[in-house]
C-alpha cells in the first residue's frame, strides 16, 4: 500500500512540475487571454505575402474556380496544390470572421438552431499570401458533399464534428471516404503552427471583454498547406493524377446566362423565419459589379482587411431540409438530386435549376433554356435554403 501511495504522490509531483514548465514556456496563455504561441513568435499573420507580385505582370491566367484572371506567378503556386475547404462558423458572436473575402467560393447553410455555417473554398486568391482564417468550427455531413466537388480528396479543415449514430455522423463519413489522417485536417491532429486559440481577435474587433472559447480557433493557410504536403497531399494523388482530373469547372463568360434577367439590385433572405440575427441582405454595387453582404442587419466585414464581404454572383439553391434529427438539433440538407435556383448577377436575377448526380459529381446549374448557366468571373456565394420554408425577396 505504501508503494502505491508513493507512486501516486510521484505522479502528482510530475504533473505539477509539467504545469510549471508549461506556464514558463507560454506565460501569456490563460483563461483570460488565449494567444497562439505561433503568433507570439512572429508566425502567421493576416495577409502575409509569400512572394512579391510585380504590379506590371499581366493577369492572363484564369482561375478554374471563379473564372477571375491572375498572374502567371500566382498560377505557378496554386497549380502545385489542391483546393482547401474550411469550415468557418457564422454565429453572431463569431463575426467578423477572418479571411472570407479571399475565398474563391463560399457555401452557407444552417448548422443547427437557425445558426448558419460556411464552407469557404480557398485556392487561387490565396496563392501568394498566407492568411489567418477563422473562427474554424466543426464538420457537418452535407458540407462534405460540396467539398467533394473539388477533387476526391480535397483538403478539408475543421475542428472535430458531429459523431452520432445517425445520418449526421460527419466524422464517420470522413473515415468512410478515406479522408481521415490524409486530406482531412482536423485541428485535433494538428499543432499550434497550423491552428490555435486566440480570443484577442474578436475582443479587439468588437470591443468586448470576453469571447466564448468555441469562437476562438484560427488557422494559417500556408501552414495548413505545409501540413498537407507532409502527408503527400499536393496537386497530385498517389497515382500521379492531378486533382483536376475529376474536377468539372463551371462555365464563365462576359454575361450571365447569355440572356436578360429581371432587375434585382437588393436581395433579402432568411434561412429560418424569425431569426433576424442570420438574415442576409445582398446589395448590388454598380461600380464594383458585385453584391455587398449584410448579416443580421449589420455590414458583414472581413476582419483581416476591414472591407465588406462581396460576391460577383450569389446563388440561392433550394433543397430538401430535414431535422432537427436528434437532441443536438443537427440538420440535414439534400445535396444529391435536383431543384430550383435563383442566380443573382450584375444587378439581375435569373431563374435556373441545379443538379448533382452523386457525392463526387459537380453541382451543375442550368438556365431557363436548359443549357449550362454561364457565370460572370468573380467570387461566388452559394446560399442553401429549404425549398419548403424559405423567404427570399428582391427588387
- Beta-carbon neighbour count of residue 54 at 10 Å? 9
Please give the chain's pLDDT, 395 residues, in tens. Answer: 444 444 334 433 333 333 333 333 333 333 344 444 444 433 334 578 999 999 999 999 999 999 999 999 999 999 999 999 999 999 999 999 999 999 999 999 999 999 999 999 999 999 999 999 999 999 999 999 999 999 999 999 999 998 888 899 999 999 999 999 999 999 999 999 999 999 999 999 999 999 999 999 999 999 999 999 999 999 998 889 999 999 999 999 999 987 779 999 999 999 998 899 999 999 999 999 999 999 999 999 999 999 999 999 999 999 999 999 998 889 999 999 999 999 999 999 999 999 999 999 999 999 989 999 999 999 999 999 999 977 899 99
| Termini Cα distance of the chain | 80
Do residues 290 and 281 lie in contact, with contact meaning Cβ atoms separated by under 8 Å? Answer: no
Q: Are 333 and 327 in contact (CB under 8 A)?
A: no
Confidence at residue 27, expressed as pLDDT on a 0 to 100 scale = 34
* Predicted local distance difference test score (pLDDT) of residue 237: 85
Residue 46 is predicted with a pLDDT of 56
Q: What is the pLDDT of residue 256?
A: 94
Write out the three cell numbers for 348: 439581375
Q: Give residue 385's pLDDT.
A: 97
- In the prediction, which pLDDT does 105 show? 98
**What number of other Cβ atoms are within 10 A of residue 2's Cβ?**
6
Nearest residue to 372 via CA among 253, 228, 241:
253
* DSSP state letters, 224-240: HHHHHHHTT-SSB-TTS
The SS3 assignment for 308 reads: strand
Kindly report the length of the chain: 395
Amino acid at each position: 500500500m505504501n508503494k502505491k501511495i508513493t507512486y501516486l504522490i510521484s505522479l502528482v509531483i510530475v504533473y505539477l512540475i509539467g504545469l510549471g514548465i508549461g506556464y514558463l514556456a507560454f506565460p501569456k496563455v490563460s483563461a483570460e487571454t488565449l494567444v497562439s504561441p505561433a503568433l507570439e513568435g512572429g508566425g502567421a499573420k493576416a495577409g502575409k505575402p509569400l512572394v512579391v507580385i510585380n504590379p506590371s505582370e499581366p493577369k492572363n491566367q484564369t482561375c478554374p474556380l471563379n473564372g477571375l484572371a491572375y498572374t502567371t506567378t500566382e498560377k505557378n503556386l496554386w497549380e502545385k496544390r489542391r483546393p482547401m475547404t474550411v469550415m468557418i462558423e457564422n454565429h453572431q458572436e463569431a463575426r467578423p470572421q477572418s479571411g472570407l473575402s479571399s475565398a474563391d467560393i463560399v457555401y452557407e447553410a444552417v448548422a443547427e438552431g437557425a445558426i448558419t455555417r460556411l464552407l469557404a473554398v480557398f485556392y487561387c486568391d490565396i496563392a501568394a499570401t498566407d492568411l489567418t482564417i477563422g473562427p474554424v468550427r466543426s464538420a457537418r455531413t452535407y458540407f462534405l458533399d460540396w467539398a467533394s466537388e473539388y477533387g476526391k480528396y480535397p483538403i478539408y479543415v475543421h475542428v472535430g464534428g458531429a459523431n452520432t449514430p445517425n445520418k449526421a455522423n460527419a466524422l464517420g463519413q470522413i473515415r468512410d471516404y478515406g479522408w481521415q489522417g490524409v486530406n482531412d485536417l482536423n485541428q485535433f491532429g494538428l499543432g499550434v503552427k497550423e491552428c490555435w486559440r486566440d480570443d484577442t481577435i474578436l475582443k479587439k474587433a468588437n470591443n468586448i471583454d470576453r469571447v466564448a472559447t468555441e469562437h476562438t480557433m484560427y488557422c494559417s493557410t500556408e501552414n495548413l498547406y505545409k501540413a498537407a504536403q507532409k502527408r503527400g497531399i499536393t496537386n497530385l494523388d498517389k497515382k500521379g493524377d492531378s486533382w483536376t482530373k475529376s474536377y468539372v469547372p463551371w462555365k464563365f463568360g462576359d454575361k450571365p446566362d447569355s440572356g436578360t434577367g429581371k432587375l434585382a439590385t437588393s436581395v433579402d433572405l432568411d434561412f429560418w423565419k424569425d431569426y433576424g440575427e442570420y438574415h442576409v441582405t445582398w446589395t448590388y454595387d454598380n461600380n464594383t459589379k458585385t453584391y455587398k453582404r449584410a448579416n443580421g442587419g449589420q455590414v458583414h466585414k472581413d476582419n483581416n482587411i476591414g472591407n465588406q464581404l462581396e460576391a460577383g454572383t450569389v446563388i440561392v439553391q433550394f433543397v430538401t431540409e430535414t431535422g432537427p434529427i436528434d437532441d443536438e438539433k443537427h440538420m440535414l440538407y439534400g445535396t444529391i438530386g435536383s431543384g430550383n435556383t435563383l442566380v443573382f448577377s450584375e444587378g439581375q436575377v435569373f431563374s435556373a435549376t441545379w443538379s448533382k448526380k452523386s457525392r463526387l459529381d459537380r453541382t451543375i446549374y442550368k438556365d431557363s433554356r436548359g443549357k449550362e448557366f454561364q457565370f460572370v468571373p468573380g467570387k461566388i456565394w452559394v446560399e442553401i435554403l429549404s425549398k419548403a420554408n424559405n423567404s427570399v425577396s428582391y427588387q
